[in-house]
Amino acid sequence: MNYIGSKLSLLEFLDESISKVIDKNCHVFCDLFAGTGIVGSYFKKKGYTVIANDIQYYSFVLNKQYIENHEHLNFQQLIKILPKLKNIEIAERKNFICDYLSNLKGIKGFIFKNYCLGGTQNKEFQRQYFSDENGKRCDAIRTEIEKWKKEKLITNNEYYFLLATLIETIDKRANTASVYGAFLKQLKKTAQTPLVLKPAELIINDQKHQVFNEDINELASKVAGDILYLDPPYNHRQYATNYHLLETVAKYDNPKIHGKTGLREYEKQKSLYCSRTKVKKAFTNLILKAKVKYIFLSYNNEGLMSLDDIKEIMSLRGKYGHFTKEYNRFKADTSENRNYKAKKTVEYLHYVVVK
Ligand SMILES: C[S@@+](CC[C@H](N)C(=O)[O-])C[C@H]1O[C@@H](n2cnc3c(N)ncnc32)[C@H](O)[C@@H]1O
Say if residue 20's pLDDT is above 90: yes
Would the CB of 216 count as within 6 Å of ligand 1? yes
Q: Which atom of ligand 1 is nearest to the CA of 3?
A: 9
pLDDT tier for residue 125 given thresholds of 50, 70 and 90: very high
For the chain, the structural domain boundaries read: 1-70+203-233+271-355, 75-202
CA dist., res. 57 & res. 45, Å (int):
23
CA dist., res. 28 & res. 183, Å (int):
40
pLDDT, residue 344, reads 79
- 1-70+203-233+271-355: CATH architecture: 3-Layer(aba) Sandwich (3.40)
Shortest-distance Cα residue to atom 18 of ligand 1: 215
pLDDT, residue 5, reads 95
Query: Which pTM value belongs to this model?
Result: 0.96
Would the CB of 35 count as within 6 Å of ligand 1? yes
pLDDT over 90 for what percent of the chain? Answer: 95
pLDDT, residue 144, reads 98
Q: Which atom of ligand 1 is nearest to the CA of 243?
A: 25
CA dist., res. 308 & res. 286, Å (int):
17
Say if residue 97's pLDDT is above 90: yes
- Residue from 1, 67, 71 nearest 30 by CA: 67
